[in-house]
Chain A
Amino acid sequence: MPPPLKSDEVKEEEEINDDDDDNSSVFLSLNPITNSSGSAFIQLGDGRTTTKIFVSVFGPKKTTSRAQDERVSKLRGTLDVSVTLASFAFKSLESSSRNIKDVEMDLTEKLTKCLRGVVVLESFPKAVVEVRCAIADANGDELRGLVLATSSALMHARVEVRDILCACTAVIEEDGEVRLVEDYTNTNDAKSKSSKNSGGRKKTSSARKAVGAVTVAYMPRVKKVTNILSVGRWGNANNLKKAEELAMQGCEEVAEVIKAAF
């Protein structure tokens, strides 16, 4: 089973500011990498426990002959996604045993799945759009960060997309409470430090322990879900449904904020 890539402490507030704002739990900026067609930087959380991701988009440009041989259709373009982790992205000792390559491949696959159906591939036949993600700091919820940053970078590069793709994570706690997780730096500072990136294993030391988490990638205005990734124990189907709905609501709010930035 692939290791789940969320911490149980996530946050719900979304803020997009041009300046650094210490109070924001999500910080998103556009165009940090100026020689790309479009790029975005996202930081989830603040203080010492953050997830920082850079995404740059190149193209649409002509395909290399290698790619052409393999998989390029004449009518559609190709989306070439890759995720790389910085060697210093995991800080805790516990995570050093994780194979970085495995995590990269796993995240690449998940992100590709989320983006499927979002990019209008027919708009750039025989060309390729390269999405390059670099995770500088991995402290949980990477997939959500990747989706938000990639979606912004694609729009910034003026690649045709069906909607603003957003992602939100909802968790279920031991006592059965389902919530969009709060800012983990505020609530679980001490615990998150000790437990972050423990290979996705559910933490035992956390006071507000989550036993399951679901990340939903959702296009709020077209009203289509592109990916649901659920891990852990949910008790019954209703809990999962509730969590998913909560996450979708969160996505709608996030989309409004991102929309304002464009």
Chain B
Amino acid sequence: MIVSEVEQQMRERKMSALQSLTTSSAPSSRVMLYTTPGEVVDGVNASEGFLKGHGTQVSEGELRATVSGVVERVNKLVSVKPMKAKYTPETGDVVVGRINMISSKRWKVDINSRQEAVLQLSSVNLPSGQQRRRNEADELNMSRLFDTADVISAEVQSLFQDGAANLHARSTKYGRLSRGVLVEVCPSLVKRLPQHFHALEVAPGVFIEVLIGCNGFIWVGSPGAATSKQATNEKSKTHEEELVVVDKKERENIVRVANCVRVLDEIFFYVTPQSIMSIYKQSEGIDAKSILTSDGFLARVIEREIDARTRTEEDADML
């Protein structure tokens, strides 16, 4: 492969920026403890007592890690959080999932966790807002509601004993997602926020909707695709009726935002509306498609982040 000199330079710049990010710019206020399996977790005094959290084991009275990751402590509860693990559902999480199959009275949903999640027919609202009649016809119509391979948003209602999630979509804001793209990122990059539905103002008066699922699945779509689903009195819409042409300008915006999210995954930064917008603003003037492929762009993003972090550190020092 022939690599031009400029590309080579950009690649080197990106690599060195990444290097300096990992070595120098970790915020000094947060001390990151990194452990590997089998290691005794530092700073845990066995005589004072501790609570064994996820990713740890007790062996001969000592607390040891079972995964490689960062140590997290909440009072006496010590857990080790792996950087790139599968999603572990928790009650109340907003998730985006893909329907894997329809079985009797329930959908099996892939939410990037160890087990498939379950969405029961009794825990969804009809799009029309009508009360559901519990009859056979209703069950037969399940595929009209959500079909296999549909992408849906839902909330974790409860957890089964084996850690599988029981979902519900009993609000008008949950349901099938359309007119957008699904981007998959590492679940540990998504923080639990009060609000997971966001409308990003990418240009004055132009909005792109983003649904940041706690499971690392992120839906980027045109306005109204994920949020503000209005309960209407119409009959439940079929797929075909929902198919609306999204114009080219909007599609470009969607792809650009989606690529910004992929950039965040690539450089392992938290995915938040602010971080997406910051990447989006920096990407202005670059083709949406070359956001991911341009090393120069990634280098600039990382350098800016280093700048920002060192500045906050200096500010903290001054205070």
Q: Which of B36, B83, B84, B115 makes the CB contact (< 8 A) with A164? A: B36
**Interface of B: prevailing SS:** loop
Residue among A126, A160, A161 with the highest chain B CB neighbour number at 10 A: A160
Bound: A239/B117 CA distance, A: 55
Known: A60-B86, A126-B115, A127-B115. A158 touches B38 (CB 8 A): no
Q: Which of B37, B55, B86, B114 makes the CB contact (< 8 A) with A163? A: B37
Q: Mark B76-114, 1 if CB is under 8 A from A, else 0.
A: 000000111110000000000000000000000000001
Bound: A123/B38 CA distance, A: 15
Verify B38–A62 contact, CB threshold 8 A. no
Which residues of B, 9-59, contact A by the 8 Å Cβ criterion?
A: 36-40, 55, 57, 59
Verify B66–A220 contact, CB threshold 8 A. no
Verify B38–A164 contact, CB threshold 8 A. yes
Which residues of A, 4-26, contact B by the 8 Å Cβ criterion?
A: none
For residue B83, which residues in chain A have a CB less than 8 angstroms away from its CB? 158
Bound: A234/B116 CA distance, A: 52
Q: Does A55 contact B (CB under 8 A)?
A: no
Verify A220–B57 contact, CB threshold 8 A. no
Q: Mark B281-314, 1 if CB is under 8 A from A, else 0.
A: 0000000000000000000000000000000000
Closest chain-B Cβ to A76's Cβ sits at a distance in Å of: 10
Verify B114–A222 contact, CB threshold 8 A. no
Q: Does B163 contact A (CB under 8 A)?
A: yes
Verify A125–B38 contact, CB threshold 8 A. no
Q: Does A221 contact B (CB under 8 A)?
A: yes
Verify A262–B66 contact, CB threshold 8 A. no
For residue A74, which residues in chain B have a CB less than 8 angstroms away from its CB? 161-162
Q: Does A259 contact B (CB under 8 A)?
A: yes
For chain A, give the interface size range. 20 to 34
For residue A164, which residues in chain B have a CB less than 8 angstroms away from its CB? 36-38
Closest chain-B Cβ to A261's Cβ sits at a distance in Å of: 9
Verify B69–A127 contact, CB threshold 8 A. no
Verify B66–A125 contact, CB threshold 8 A. no
Q: Which of B57, B68, B84, B115 makes the CB contact (< 8 A) with A62? A: B115
Q: Which of A120, A126, A255 makes the CB contact (< 8 A) with B66? A: A120
Q: Does B67 contact A (CB under 8 A)?
A: yes
Known: A155-B36, A262-B36. A162 touches B57 (CB 8 A): yes
Q: Does A113 contact B (CB under 8 A)?
A: no
Bound: A255/B37 CA distance, A: 10
For residue B59, which residues in chain A have a CB less than 8 angstroms away from its CB? 162, 222
Q: Does B176 contact A (CB under 8 A)?
A: no
Q: Mark B141-174, 1 if CB is under 8 A from A, else 0.
A: 0000000000000000000011110000000000
Q: Does A41 contact B (CB under 8 A)?
A: no
- Which 10 residue pairs are nearest across A and B when measured between Cβ atoms? A163-B38, A221-B38, A160-B66, A158-B82, A126-B162, A125-B162, A158-B85, A60-B114, A262-B68, A127-B114
Binding site for A on B (CB under 8 A): 36-40, 55, 57, 59, 64, 66-69, 82-86, 114-116, 161-164
